[in-house]
């Protein structure tokens, strides 16, 4: 059996190697930093403490500190915090393709050219 300390060292080395093999692109880091700042701003605008938001979101204080510090967390944790701050709808809308020019154009392209009445309606 491996000693617990040795296991942790091996895990840290392997985890560190995997995180270095795929560096975060600069635009992603910038967006993460900006989104983190926005969430922090929303929290402070509402006069809420980190403890209160973490409790309402169902995440740990450490996770919320990582999110607000721009170090990232799971997408679910970020959405939980957005919900606790009352901005989940805004986050969800940001991913809605129908809110973009391209999405609206594609939707129009997929509309049928002609719509015929059903046989039951013709009688």
Predicted model pTM: 0.67
Q: Is 120 contained in some domain?
A: no
Q: Is 118 contained in some domain?
A: no
Q: pLDDT per residue over 25-65, tens digit each?
A: 999 999 999 999 999 999 999 999 999 999 999 999 999 99
3-state secondary structure 8-70: HHHHHHHHHHHHHHCCCCHHHHHHHHHHHHHHHHHHHHCCCCHHHHHHHHCCCHHHHHHHHCC
Higher pLDDT, 95 or 4: 95
What mean pLDDT, rounded, does the chain reach?
A: 84
At residue 112 the predicted structure's pLDDT band, cuts being 50, 70 and 90, is confident
CA–CA separation, 29 and 42 (whole Å): 20
* Span 16-31, average pLDDT: 76
Q: Is 47 contained in some domain?
A: yes
Q: Is 2 contained in some domain?
A: no
- Per the structure, the complete domain to which residue 36 belongs is given by 25-112
The tally of domains found in the chain comes to 1
31: domain CATH number is 1.10.260.40
Q: Is 17 contained in some domain?
A: no
* Span 108-117, average pLDDT: 76
Q: Is 34 contained in some domain?
A: yes
């Amino acid at each position: 059996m491996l000693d617990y300390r040795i296991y942790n060292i091996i895990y840290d080395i392997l985890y560190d190697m995997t995180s270095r093999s795929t560096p975060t692109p600069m635009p992603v880091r910038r967006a993460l930093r900006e989104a983190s700042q926005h969430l922090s701003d929303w929290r402070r605008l509402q006069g809420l403490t980190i403890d209160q938001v973490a409790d309402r979101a169902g995440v740990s204080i450490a996770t919320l500190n990582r999110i607000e510090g721009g170090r990232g967390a799971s997408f679910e944790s970020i959405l939980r915090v957005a919900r606790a701050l009352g901005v989940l709808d805004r986050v969800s809308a940001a991913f809605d393709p129908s809110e973009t020019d391209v999405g609206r154009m594609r939707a129009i392209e997929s509309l049928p050219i002609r719509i015929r009445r059903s046989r039951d309606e013709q009688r």
